[in-house]
Each structure stands twice: as C-alpha cells, then as structure tokens.
Amino acid sequence: MSDSEKSIDLATKEMLGLACNKNICTAFDRHETMEPECGFGQLGICCRNCVMGPCRIDPFGEGPQEGICGATADTIAARNLVRMIAAGAAAHSDHGRDVAHTLLTTSEGKTKGYGIKGKEKLLNLAKELKVKIENRKIEEVAHDVAEKCFAEFGQQHGELQFTRRAPKKRQEIWRKNRFTPRGIDREVVEIMHRTNIGVDNDYQNILQQGIRTSLGDGWGGSMIATDLQDVLFGQPEPVRSVSNLGVLKEDEVNIIVHGHEPTLSDVIVAASQDKELLELAKKYGAKGINLAGICCTANEILMRHGISVAGNFLQQELAVITGAVDLMLVDVQCIMPALGKLATCFHTKIISTSPKAKFPGVEHIEFSEEEALPIAKKIVRMAVENYKNRKKESLNIPKEKMELVAGFTSEYVFKMLGGKYRATYRPLNDAVISGRLRGAVGIVGCNNPKIKHDWAHIELTKELIKNDVLVVTTGCSALASAKAGLLVPEAAKKYAGKGLQEICEAVGIPPVLHMGACVDISRILTTLCNVLTEGGLGEDISDLPVAAAAPEWMSEKAVSIGFYAVASGIFTVLGLPLPVMGGKNLTEYLINSIENTVGGKFAFESDPLKAADLIVKHLDKKREALKLKPMMYGE
Amino acid sequence: MSKIVATAAIRGAQKIVKDAEDFLNKAIAEKGESQKIEFPDTAYYFPMAYALMGVEVKTLGDIKSVLQEAKSLLHNEPTEQIWFPYLGDALDSGVAAILAEEIIVGLRYLYGQEPQPDCVGFFSDTILRQLGIQLVDGRMAGFAAILGAAPDNKTAVEIVREFQKRQILTFVGSSTNGVSIIDQLKQENVEMGWDNYIVPYGRDTITGIYPLNWAIRGALTFGGHKKGEALKCLKYCKDRVFAFGVTLGEIDDIKYATGAGAINMGFPIIADTDIPEILPTGICTYEHLVSELDYKKIVPRCIEVRGVKVKVSEIPIPVAYSAAFEGERIRKTQTYLEAGSRYSTAFEYATMKNTDEIEDGKFEVIGHEIDDVQEGSAVPLGIYVEVAGRKMQKEFESIVERQIHTFLNEAQGIMHTGQRDLIWLRISKEAKSKGFKLKHLGTIIHARVHEVFGAIVDKVRVIIYTKQEDIEKLLPSARESYKFRDERIGAMTDESVDTFYSCTLCQSFAPNHLCIVKPERLGLCGAYNWLDCKASFEINPTGPNQPVKKGTMLDESRGEWQGINDWVKIKSNGHLERFHGYSIMTWPETSCGCFECIGAIVPEANGFMVVNREYSGMTPLGMTFSTLAGSVGGGNQTPGFMGFGRLYITSKKFIKADGGLKRIVWMPKELKEAISGKLKKRSEEEDIPDFLDKIADETIATDTEKLLEFLQKVNHPALTIEPLM
C-alpha cells in the first residue's frame, strides 16, 4: 500500500514517507506484515476458553462444526464477543472509578493540584443522588457524591442510579429483558463466569449479559467518569484550539500527553504554566512549553483548556517521528507498546505513569493524586531538561494544522440555544420537527489501519451533514473531523445541507459538534434524554431520528459502546464487522432481530457512503413513524 | 446572517447597560442610595426585575443588584472567524438590555423625564387588569409594538389601521433618523390612547421596555407566577401574550438588543428593511426575525409569524369593524345622527320567538333611514331584536340583549352607550359618508348574535324603528320585560337553587382560581351572574361555566357545602380545600385578578373597607387598589382580603358570616354613589336606615386615625358588634 492510500491526512502521509525513508516501522507497516490476518479470529470462531482446545469451527462447513465441548459457532462467537464487551466496559468503568477516587480524596483534602471546579454540576448530581446539600460544605457534598458513585461499582442488586436518566419506556424495556445493570463490576464478573467452560451456551442468553454489562458502561462507568470529571475539572464550554502534528513547535519544549484520563494531564496543564519551569525552558533556549495531546487525553484537556491536539490514535508514533517531542507521557488505553522501542531512535522520552500500564523499555514515574502537582512538575521538568537533547537534523514537523471549536456538552446545549433565562432544547427539537434537520448522528470511535486513516470518518461525516444531519462526535473520530476542518462554524456553509446550514447560522455552531472523549459518549446519551424531555419527538430513544457510527473502530471499548448504543435503542453502523460472522444465527440476531427487543440494531458497512445511505434511510423511517414534516429543502 | 444580528444585539446591550450604569451612578451621587424610586401605579416595583430576578426595587440602592445581573449577561461580540455559538449570548444580551432599559426609564421617572410629551410612559396595573380581560375573552387578539417611523405618514396610518381592524393593540414609539411614528400619526390626526388601541409609549427605543414590562406583569397577575420565576414568566408571555415587534426603518444596535429582549419573551420581530432573517424556531413559537419589505403585506406577515388568532368578522357594512373601535368616542361636531339620551326616545330589546315565527336575516328599517334626516339631528330609535332557536330560552334574552352594546360599538364611527331604554347612539359623519345606514345596525346585530350565540340561536331578525309612534307603542311591553327580568334574578336566592355554577374562565391566567357563582353572589368580575352562567353552560356545555351541585350543607351562615368543596378541590388542581361563600375571614373565595372591588379588613375599625378598581387614590389601609390587588389575586386564599363584584355588596349574602353590610366602614365616594339606591334599600332591610351616611369615604378619611374619629362620631355599628379577630 502506498502512503497516500494509508491516510487522507497530509501530515500523516508526510510522516509516513519520512518513516519509510528512515526505515522506521509503524502500525501501518506492521498491519501489512500481519496480513493475511487470521480468518478464524475475524469470524470469532476460535475458542481458547479451556485447554481441551484451542478449538476452531470450519466456516466452510467441511471441518468441525462444534468444539470439543460441543460449543457451536454461535456459542463460541457470542462468548468471545461478550468477553470483548467485558474488557471494554471494564476499561471505561475503571476510568470512572479512578475519577471517583480522585474526587473522594480531593474532598478529603488529601490531593495536591485538584479542586472542585464544577460546583453547579456537583450540586445537580447531589440532588439526583439524593445527597443532602443544605448547610453543608461543598467538600462534604462532593465526598458523599463520590461515595455514592463508588458504591455503583460494587453494588450487588438493584439498579444503577443513572439508568434512571433514561426515558421511562426505555427503563421498562431494560427491566423486562433483565438488561438493567445491577452493579458495574458485578456484570463484568458475570460475563467472565458465564463464558467459562460449560456455563452459558445459549448465544441469546450470553448476549443478554453482554448487553447488561455494556449498559453498566454507558449508563454507569462512562457516565460516572464524565460527570465526576466535570465536577473536578469543570464543565466544558466552547473553546478554540488547533489540531494536527503542525501544532508541535520548533522553538518550544513539546510535551505530548497521550492516553485517556485527564487526572494527570489536567495538572500537567498547570505545571506547564509554572513560572519556574518556564524560566528553566528559556534558560535552555526554548521560547516556552508547548503541550499537545493525542487520543482521548487530548480530548479531555482540549474540552476544558483548549490545549491543542497533535493527532489521533494512528498518529501517536508519527508524533515521535517528528523528532520534536521532548517528552510523551502516557496513562492508560490505546497506547501502543511500540512507542518504547520507537523512542530509542529519537531523543523523545516516553514516561508511563499508571500502575496499571507499564511498557517494556519505558521509564515509569508513578502517578498519585496525593502528589499530583509535584509529580506533574517533575515530569515537565524532565521534558524541559530533555529539550537540549533534540537533534536539529531529526526535526521534521509537518506544517499541517487546523483550527477547531470543541467543548459541547448536553448542559451547554441549553445555554447555547436559549441563554440563561430561556435555557432550552426547543430550537433543536423544532429544527428536527420542522424538517430543517433530518436528525442527529453520533460518529465516534478509533482509527484502524485496515481502513484508510480518517477517510471513513470524514467521508461519512461529510455525507451526513450534506444531508442535513447534525453530527456529534467524540474520541478519535472527533479529532479526524478537527483535522479535516469540520469543527469550525465556517464548515456549515461549505459542507452542510441548507437546513442544517440555517440551524448552524442561527445558533453559531459548526455542523459537527465535538462532545469530548470516548467516555463522553455518555454526554450523547444525556443529550438524547434531554431531547425527549423537551418533547415532540416520541417517548423513547428508539423513536428519535438518530443513529450512531464507528467507521474505523478497533478497540474492545468500541464493542461495549456499540452494544450500549444498540441496547439504548440506537441504530449503530460499524465500519468493520464485529468478529461474529462465523456464527450465522448470532450475526442475524445482531443485525436484525435484536431490534424487536431493544429497538436498535447493528449494521456492518465499510463503505462510508453506503453507511451514510443506510443511516439516512433509517432517519427517514423514524421521521415517518413520528409523522414529522418532510425535509424542508427537499432531497 | 444571524451572526450580524447577534453581534449588533450584544453590542447594543453593552451600550444600554453602560448607560444605565452611568445614570445610576449619577443618581446615587446626587440623591443617595436610600432615595426611593418607583413607577406610578404598580404593585410590581420594577416589573421586569421583579419577574425575572425576584428583586423588589424600592430604592436606588436596590437597583445595584439588577445592574449587576445585567452586566453578568453581557458577552463579547462573536469573532470574525471561528466564532463561538452566539444565539444564547444574544438572548442573554436581550435580557441585559431590557433589565437596563427598565433601570433607565425608572431613573427618568425619578428625574421627571417620563412620560414624554403625548406619551403614556409606564403602563399602570389598572390598564393591565382592564385589558387582561379583553385578552382572555379574545376581544383583543394581541399586541404590536412598533419602533421607528414609516417612510411616510400615510404608510404609518395604514399600518396602525390594519392592526386596529384586527383587534390588535398597537404600541407606537421609538424613532428612525429622528422621526417617530408617534409624530407621524399625530400629524395625520390619528386619535391615540387606550380606547383606540393605539398607544404611544415614548420616542426612543429605551422606552420600548414599557410594553415589555407590561406584558411580563401578565404572567404575574394572570399567570399566577411568582416573582423570580423567570422561565415560567417568559414562557407564559410566549404562550399567552400574542405580542410582537415591528421595526420601521433602519435597525440600530439598541433596537436589536431590545428585540433580543423581546425574543426572550417569545415576541418575534418583523422588520420593513432588508435585514438578515432568523427563521429557525424554538424561542418564539415561529420565526424569530423576519423581513417584510412590502407594507401591504407587513401586517398579515406579523400575524402569521406570531400565530395571532384573529377573528375578523366579515360583516358586510361599509365601515371597519373590530374590538379596537369599541372605546371610540364620537363628538358632537363629528356626529351626523344621534338617538337616545336626552335627545330622543330610544330603547333596545331582545325577545324570544318560536322558530317558525321569524325569518332569519331579515332586517328592516321602519321609518326614516339615515339619508332622510338632516345632519346633526336626533331621531327616535327602537332596536327590536327577535331571536329563535331550538335551545333558546326566555332567560337568555337579557344576555343576548346586553351584548348589543358591544356589537354596535365595535363598528368604526358608531358610538353606543347604556342599555335597555337608557341607550345613546351616535353615527359619525364619516360613517355616513362611507355609506353607513341605519339598517346596518341590523346587519351587525344579526352577524354577531349568530357568531356569539350560535349554540342557542338559529334565527335572528332585527327591526329598526324610527317613528315616534312606533316607539311609544313598543316601549311599555319592553319595560314590562325589563322589570320582570330584574325581579326574577332579584328574587332568586342561594337557597332556591340546588346548583351553583363554576366559572373557570380565568384559569387560563390564574390556574388555581375559580369562581363559584351563586344567585346571591355574582362572579367577582361583575360580568357573570348565576343566570349568565346557566346560559353560558347551555350555550357551551364544555365551557368554563359548569353546574356544581351544592351537596350537603356544612355551614349555613358561612355558606359551605360539601359538593362545592369537592369541586373546588378538583378544579383548583388540589390547591384549595374549602370555600366559605359568605366570609372574608375564613376560607374566603379566591380571586383571579379581574375583581371589580376588593374587600379588606381594617382591624382598628372592626370592619372592612371596600375599594373599587376605578379608584386610584389612597385608602385607610395605606395601600392603593393596585397594591392591594397584588396580595389578593392569583388564586390564593388570603383571609381578611377578597375580591368581588360590585353587586355582591348589596346582596343579602354579603359577608353574612362576618357580620354583613354593617361591617363596611369605608368605600370610595364614587362607588358609594353608584350603588346608593340599592345600598339604601339594603340598609333599611338591615334596620340601619341612615347607614349610608356612616360609611366613610376618601373625602372624610384616607388614614385609620381620621377614619376611627369619624366612625366614633357617627356611631358606626361596626364599633359595637362582636370583634372580628
């Protein structure tokens, strides 16, 4: 594959060219080396859950049709699939747990570098969780809110608190089908139990637990992560920033934060503005300290501080290859182990910080909330000290960068549409009802070298906004849109259909709204609930003309997300199929009959234009069911 | 595009807030923070600040928090590129602007700079309540606030006439390039004032706050919303007050900012210039900002954009017909023909016939037509209306007849006052020149009776008599009928019926209020007695007047029945539990906001004072009617205070439980005179024949000290009966 076929992003193409010249291997190359990928794995019909096997089912029907224990392709694929859900849900939820921990220790005055910046959000949460507010210090309230959220993880029976945010009808569907999660951790454990040899063998029953676990992510762990981060670090509001590798600066100390949690990176922001460290940087001839992010850590500090974005998942190695990164600190999730080896070719220091995530050959400085600011300063100081080791001849910063507006939340929508006194979702609902907007679609998810980098995200996004669909986005998809210039308000005139253009113009928004990191897909869920509460568009999420898409997904987290989206009633289009195609009944269930139970279903479509077509047809079907007016500006 | 508008509004708000701040600083420097400040005749302080923030501005110092809030709502203008969302910011700026404008006009009042010449300035609570009724009964379709000036006087007149025709109250003011529509209309001799539905508020945009802080009071008075319930108040305006702004001429930043304030209230703006439109809906019901360059289309466009429900009765007469003309006066010099009053014998009478007796749509003039008489002369007149219908009843006659007054008055160039054989009718020269004939009186009555009473009336025939001998022949039987009707309602008692009627007409603006109308206690607005409610129920069985079975009598002297309590509980949405029909002191009946009179305890005198809406002076309680009204209205039970209709004062059941008529210690002179005949009769029945002279009025006392002095001097019975408290 030539470099131009690997990505649509100019900076990426340039760096891939450079890597090739320097004989440096990246994920793009390793993907090529890996081909042909294991067909059994892709189809989900290889089982390693006990050591009678490994067993694999012959997809062509000639060889074995069941494993040694007698498990069919459907059983094996379903078990593998829900284990992916368990891993994905665990990742998001563990993230949420850590934030709850930070809030708890902060409320006890045990941390350095944190405070409660989102007071309004805290009070709203307290009300929702029935925590007493009157005559109490904000820290006391925060303490109880953190404890209540903590309790959600270990809860053994009952229902997760935030599932009650869902429309009544949805809650009923969940209860009726035993989908309502009882406790976040419990559901993950139960998946591990059920998929053990000789436990749950009915693929639909296995999926029932998969769905329950995923809901514990979307309406549990992820939601806790988002909400408590807003409490700790402040609620995002629109910010301007810049994206792509061009944000790295030749004459400044460049620090990249990479991973998913804002806990450390938020204090890094403060440390990078420390006077003493800035002085030190000047002493070494740097004009300043430049912070940039990759993946969802980038999204977190972008949303709250407007810190610039170096790139998305497949650009992490390329950032190092610029030779301009003096230090890259990583926390958890989506961090390629390849970084350690790669960094040895450059002056770049990679620092791992989470006790949960260490990398061979990478220096580890363990992070703790109690000593957050001193640790952050220590790391920034290392970066500054490393500036002098930069090699001029290895410096290759692409010039590509693009401006963007981020910082949209479900709460901000009220303000954005109605100001303080008329805070409302009405204009949004009206826009859909009147046929200016066809509906809204969440485009989320990762990068995957199997698909031309950023291409599917951008093609799908552009096609949808052209069809008067408002796009909300998070994660690496948001960063793709940022780099493609879709996150600026000017993009409406350039790319959006007339109806969407009118809305963007009336409100002053871009046609694609950046709502945060991948845990912040919970923001999309609350937004949909608010839309329903505003009224006029049905009673349940499955009534709404909305859909979701993950065109370039790769992570197990995406599987969990996909499931909680579908189980919340949302039609979800994946750019790559779930690894289930070997189980015919299971596949049929996921792309079809599951809709009868939950109102949402999956579609697998790698061509973004075809995916857009599927989505538009789905939105039109929902519009028709709601008896909404035809689209105002025709087809 | 919208960004230009948002930018202008944000900029305008910054300017207005700055001006308010400077003015306030000046005033505080000159007069001190404790300097009292108020608008005339309102119980709502600075109404916009009161509604949106819950602040009671009484002194200059109190304004500071309002100004602070306005400042906190200011935003930066959107950037040239990569801008942030501006809709919310523009709306915030609108609120900032109207809060600041209210401060500015308040301060102007303090300095005697308002109202401006020919302008009404701040709209009083009295006006609010009077027109509120017209709002609910649909006589008034909505309000237009015009800002600026039309390109020429003729266009200005045409626009306001178009609104008038559609029963839309028009506020005119502000200026464009130094010219105000007020002066354009003045130059064209357009009669302005509340009666004409054309009200000049002020010549600058800042005074545009007057219609707005008038409208927001609607939410408080009629909507039952409390101070500080900003969202509820604003949404009430959006859903209930069909107002909109019309800008004539170039729109500057100040107008944009004020417009953004109006949009917060759900009032869209229609401009006659080529401005960027804001079409997506959501804050207003329909479009927010619309451009209409064609003056012929501007009024219909306004109606469409605001969703005003206009009932234009297409009555085939040569003059305009609309509620807007109801209050029109015709002066002697303008009169072509008149009848009644002291000029000639005249009467009107509606009577029921069998359906086969009359032919619908037949109206004739027996005697002279208008063309047969000379300009300025008076003719005898008999307006004889025959109605028939399967559901028509004899007792509805008076209801149909009473509406003749309104029906005729709404024609342009026709003035009608009084009722029965006390009418006075004038037809203007202008109407005559347009071709108006006496037979058109029949045309109007026919059309309107069908429209209003369609449920009970199938046929209407109107005969206009103008010969003296015919009048004299018909009058005695009409008079016989009048007398019969009076005696019938007069003879009815609460005990003589087993059913009362509810009236929930006002729940559209006071959601928890309801009236229980009894034969001996009419509705507090004075417009509906028991028979009217009965008729209304017949006419519209699912309407606001429903029969309520009294049920078991619980307390005879206090007027409490089980059936009534049950009904009250349900219909007040659980808000109320019990009603004592004959007491102010225990479980008094609630008040919406439309009451004719307020009864209020005067503890020192061991009695009550009664004050009527028309009386704007001070009462012995140290409060004016409008101040009192604030605590009485809104559907709440406030023992010691109650709203009621005038006729209730002379009812035998008048606060019977609290001691009845002899508790009245004070009432305005005007009210006393107006009901003196009945009052005298009732005094005699109560065995206190000289009671009338024992009731104090404002010429005797407007404070309790003087009042007590007087009561003791005349030996008022209230002083000697058992204590009220």
Q: Where are the domains of chain B?
A: 2-306, 323-486, 494-719
Q: What is the pLDDT of residue A635?
A: 57
Decide if pLDDT at B467 tops 70: yes
Decide if pLDDT at B509 tops 60: no
Biggest CA pair distance of chain A: 73
Stretch (H or E) spanning B213? helix B209-221
Mean pLDDT (chain B) is 89
Decide if pLDDT at B633 tops 80: no
Percent of all residues in chain B with a pLDDT value above 90, rounded to a whole number: 58
| Least confident segment among A98-112, B521-535, B605-619 | B521-535
Contacts of B279 in chain A (CB under 8 A): 502, 506
What digits encode the pLDDT tens for the residues A162-188? Answer: 999 999 999 999 999 999 999 999 999
Residue A183 shares a structural domain with residue A319: no
On the 0-12 / 13-18 / 19+ scale of CB atoms within 10 A, B638 is: middle
Asked if B66 has any chain A CB less than 8 Å from its own CB, the reply is no
Residue A125 shares a structural domain with residue A164: yes
Q: What is the pLDDT of residue B638?
A: 85
pTM of the complete model: 0.76
Phi then psi for B609, rounded to 5 degrees? -105, 155
Mean pLDDT (chain A) is 96
Strand intervals (E) in B207-272: 243-248, 269-271
Q: Do A419 and B52 touch (CB under 8 A)?
A: no
Residue A229 shares a structural domain with residue A246: no
Which residue from B minimizes the CA distance to A500?
A: B280
Angle in degrees, CA A134, A137, A142, rounded to 5? 95
Residue A215 shares a structural domain with residue A258: no
Please, which residues have CB within 8 angstroms of residue B145's CB and are 6 or more apart in sequence?
B170, B171, B173, B201, B208, B211, B212, B243, B244, B245, B246, B262, B267
d(Cα B126, Cα B617) in Å, to the nearest integer?
A: 12
Residue A382 shares a structural domain with residue A316: yes
Q: Which residues of chain A from 465 to 494 reach within 8 Å of chain B, CB to CB?
A: 488-490
A550-563 mean pLDDT: 98
Which residue from A minimizes the CA distance to B2?
A: A506
Residue A512 shares a structural domain with residue A378: no
Residue A95 lies in a domain: yes
Decide if pLDDT at B330 tops 70: yes
Q: Distance between alpha carbon B409 and the CA centroid of its chain, in Å? A: 17
A523-533 mean pLDDT: 97
Residue A97 shares a structural domain with residue A200: yes
What digits encode the pLDDT tens for the residues A364-377? Answer: 999 999 999 999 99
Pick among A409, A416, A420 to test the B interface (most B CBs inside 10 A): A420
Q: What is the pLDDT of residue B358?
A: 83
- Is B215 in a helix, a strand, or coil? helix
Which residue from A minimizes the CA distance to B277?
A: A506
Q: How far apart are the first and last CA of chain B?
A: 66
Q: What is the pLDDT of residue A204?
A: 97
Stretch (H or E) spanning A125? helix A119-128
What digits encode the pLDDT tens for the residues B419-445? Answer: 788 888 999 999 999 999 999 999 999
Asked if B725 has any chain A CB less than 8 Å from its own CB, the reply is no
Where does the pLDDT of residue B239 fall: very low under 50, low under 70, confident under 90, or very high at 90 and above? confident
Stretch (H or E) spanning B465? strand B459-465
The number of residues making up chain B comes to 725
Residue entry with tokens 């400044």: A252
Asked if A402 has any chain B CB less than 8 Å from its own CB, the reply is no
| Most confident stretch, A24-28, B303-307, B622-626 | A24-28
From the CA atom positions of chain B, what is the Rg in Å?
27
A44-63 mean pLDDT: 95
d(Cα A510, Cα A501) in Å, to the nearest integer?
A: 9
Q: What is the DSSP string of B71-125?
A: HHT--PPPPSSSPPP-HHHHHHHHHHHHHHHHHHHHHHHHTT--SPTT---SPPH
Q: What is the pLDDT of residue A436?
A: 96
Sign of CA dihedral B27, B28, B32, B34: positive
Q: Which two tokens stand for residue A631?
A: 């689209």
Please, which residues have CB within 8 angstroms of residue B433's CB and are 6 or more apart in sequence?
none
Q: What is the pLDDT of residue B135?
A: 61
Q: What is the pLDDT of residue A555?
A: 98
Percent of all residues in chain A with a pLDDT value above 90, rounded to a whole number: 97
Residue A107 shares a structural domain with residue A245: no
Residue A579 lies in a domain: yes
- CATH value at residue A471: 3.40.50.2030
Ramachandran class of B573: left when φ > 0, alpha when ψ lies in -120 to 50, beta otherwise: left
Where does the pLDDT of residue B392 fall: very low under 50, low under 70, confident under 90, or very high at 90 and above? confident
According to DSSP, the residues that pair with B378 across neighbouring strands are: B338
Decide if pLDDT at A601 tops 90: yes
Contacts of B66 in chain A (CB under 8 A): none
* Number of domains chain A is built from: 4
A119-143 mean pLDDT: 96
Neighbours of A593 (CB within 10 A): 12
d(Cα A156, Cα B212) in Å, to the nearest integer?
A: 56
Which residue from A minimizes the CA distance to B262?
A: A422
Q: Do B86 and A508 touch (CB under 8 A)?
A: yes
CA dihedral B407, B410, B414, B420 (to 10 degrees): 30
What digits encode the pLDDT tens for the residues A330-352? Answer: 999 999 999 999 999 999 999 99
According to DSSP, the residues that pair with B607 across neighbouring strands are: B602
Residue A182 lies in a domain: yes
Q: ipTM of this predicted complex?
A: 0.94
Residue A450 shares a structural domain with residue A542: yes
Contacts of A423 in chain B (CB under 8 A): 231
| Least confident segment among A11-20, A612-621, B163-172 | B163-172
d(Cα B176, Cα B152) in Å, to the nearest integer?
A: 12
A203-218 mean pLDDT: 98
Asked if A505 has any chain B CB less than 8 Å from its own CB, the reply is yes
Asked if A632 has any chain B CB less than 8 Å from its own CB, the reply is no
Asked if B54 has any chain A CB less than 8 Å from its own CB, the reply is no
d(Cα B288, Cα B269) in Å, to the nearest integer?
A: 6
Closest-CA distance, A505 to chain B, in angstroms, reads: 6
- CATH number listed for the domain at residues B323-486: 3.30.1650.10
Residue A249 shares a structural domain with residue A326: yes
CA distances from A51 to A32, A48, A87 (A): 31, 7, 21
d(Cα B367, Cα B374) in Å, to the nearest integer?
A: 14
Percent of all residues in chain B with a pLDDT value above 70, rounded to a whole number: 96
Among residues A589, A620, A582, A594, the alpha carbon closest in space to that of A58 is found at A582
| Least confident segment among A241-245, B233-237, B540-544 | B540-544
Amino acid at position B132, single letter: G
Closest-CA distance, B86 to chain A, in angstroms, reads: 5
Closest-CA distance, B38 to chain A, in angstroms, reads: 25
Residue A41 lies in a domain: yes
- CATH number listed for the domain at residues B494-719: 3.40.1470.10
Closest-CA distance, B72 to chain A, in angstroms, reads: 10
Residue A315 shares a structural domain with residue A223: no
**Peptide bond between residue B85 and the one before it cis (omega within 30 degrees of 0):** no
d(Cα B155, Cα B148) in Å, to the nearest integer?
A: 13
Which residue from B minimizes the CA distance to A420?
A: B92
Q: Which two tokens stand for residue B83?
A: 């801008």
Contacts of B283 in chain A (CB under 8 A): 417-418, 422, 424, 426-427
Q: What is the pLDDT of residue A629?
A: 82
Give B2-306's CATH code, choosing from 3.40.50.2030, 3.40.50.720, 3.40.630.40, 1.20.120.1200.
3.40.50.2030
Pick among A243, A412, A422, A437 to test the B interface (most B CBs inside 10 A): A422
- Is A504 in a helix, a strand, or coil? helix
Q: Do B231 and A503 touch (CB under 8 A)?
A: no
Residue A402 lies in a domain: no
Stretch (H or E) spanning B517? strand B515-517
Q: What 8-state DSSP symbol labels residue A38?
A: P
Contacts of A436 in chain B (CB under 8 A): 280
Q: What is the pLDDT of residue B402?
A: 77
What digits encode the pLDDT tens for the residues B269-299? Answer: 999 999 988 888 888 888 899 999 999 889 8
Where does the pLDDT of residue B569 fall: very low under 50, low under 70, confident under 90, or very high at 90 and above? confident
Residue A424 lies in a domain: yes
Decide if pLDDT at B309 tops 80: no
Please, which residues have CB within 8 angstroms of residue A621's CB and are 6 or more apart in sequence?
none
d(Cα A474, Cα A514) in Å, to the nearest integer?
A: 6
B192-202 mean pLDDT: 91
Q: What is the pLDDT of residue B646?
A: 86
Where does the pLDDT of residue A40 fall: very low under 50, low under 70, confident under 90, or very high at 90 and above? very high
A310-314 mean pLDDT: 97
Closest-CA distance, A425 to chain B, in angstroms, reads: 8
A55-78 mean pLDDT: 96
- Is A309 in a helix, a strand, or coil? strand
Neighbours of B293 (CB within 10 A): 10
Helix axes B125-136, B209-221, angle to 10 degrees: 70
Q: What is the pLDDT of residue B137?
A: 53
CA distances from B391 to B354, B360, B459, B536 (A): 11, 16, 11, 12
Asked if B88 has any chain A CB less than 8 Å from its own CB, the reply is yes
Decide if pLDDT at A593 tops 90: yes
Pick among B53, B74, B82 to test the A interface (most A CBs inside 10 A): B82
Secondary structure (H, E, C), A590-633: HHHHHHHHHCCCEEECCCHHHHHHHHHHHHHHHHHHCCCCCCCC
d(Cα A104, Cα A124) in Å, to the nearest integer?
A: 17
Q: Which of A415, A420, A505 sits opposite B2 (nearest CB)?
A: A505
Closest-CA distance, B288 to chain A, in angstroms, reads: 10
Amino acid at position B94, single letter: G
Q: What is the pLDDT of residue B683?
A: 93
Q: State how beta strands A546-550 and A571-574 pair.
A: parallel
| Least confident segment among A224-238, B117-131, B300-314, B583-597 | B300-314
Q: Which residues of chain A from 429 to 448 reach within 8 Å of chain B, CB to CB?
A: 429-431, 434, 436
Q: Distance between alpha carbon B341 and the CA centroid of its chain, in Å? A: 27
- CATH value at residue A111: 1.20.1270.30
Q: What is the pLDDT of residue B312?
A: 47
Residue A505 shares a structural domain with residue A616: yes
Q: What is the pLDDT of residue A321?
A: 97
Closest-CA distance, B253 to chain A, in angstroms, reads: 18
B359-363 mean pLDDT: 79
Please, which residues have CB within 8 angstroms of residue B547's CB and are 6 or more apart in sequence?
B499, B500, B501, B534, B537
CA dihedral B706, B710, B713, B716 (to 10 degrees): -130
Q: Which of A417, A420, A508 sits opposite B6 (nearest CB)?
A: A508
Q: Do A508 and B95 touch (CB under 8 A)?
A: no
- Is A572 in a helix, a strand, or coil? strand
Range of the domain at A172: 73-233
Letter string b/e over residues B369-380, b meaning 16 or more CB atoms within 10 A of that residue's CB: ebeebeeeebbb
Alpha-helix runs per DSSP H in B315-467 = 397-402, 404-409, 429-433, 439-452
Asked if B65 has any chain A CB less than 8 Å from its own CB, the reply is no
Side-chain half-sphere exposure of A207, counting CA atoms within 13 A: 24
| Most confident stretch, B245-249, B310-314, B548-552 | B245-249
Asked if A409 has any chain B CB less than 8 Å from its own CB, the reply is no
